[in-house]
Amino acid sequence: MNNFNKVSVAEEARVELHDALGLTGAEISVNTLPAGASVPFVHSHKQNEEIYAVLEGKGYAVIDGEKIGLTAGDFVRISPAAKRQFFASDDSAIKYLCIQVKENSLEGYTMTDAVV
């Protein structure tokens, strides 16, 4: 039995990694919006915060009514209750990673969790 799982991500609009990797503590998706497109709904969460990492392109998010510009290399953490929606810019697609985890569930991090 392997202690790891590996998958390759195809060029699709949205790829969920939960089942493919057998994730047990996070939900991760890779998302691509073409130029001028948006996520078609505003949403929030009950328990899970989301961390967004912009991989390519540019766009913006509207978070609790505030417009936040996004470009490759940006990271944004959004609390569960915040209402959010994502948009690609009119002249550029945007590709981003979304990591969803239960808020306040981190008991340790790399420096305190590593076993050497």
pLDDT tens column, 1-41 = 588 888 888 777 788 888 889 898 899 999 999 999 999 99
CA angle 54, 31, 79 (to 5 degrees): 65
Pair type for strands 27-33 and 94-102: antiparallel
CA distance 46 to 48: 6
What percentage of the chain has pLDDT greater than the value 90?
67
Residues 39-67: tens digit of each pLDDT: 999 999 999 999 999 999 999 999 999 99
Q: What domains can be seen in the chain, in order of their start residue?
A: 56-104 (2.60.120.10)
CB atoms within 10 A of CB 88: 23
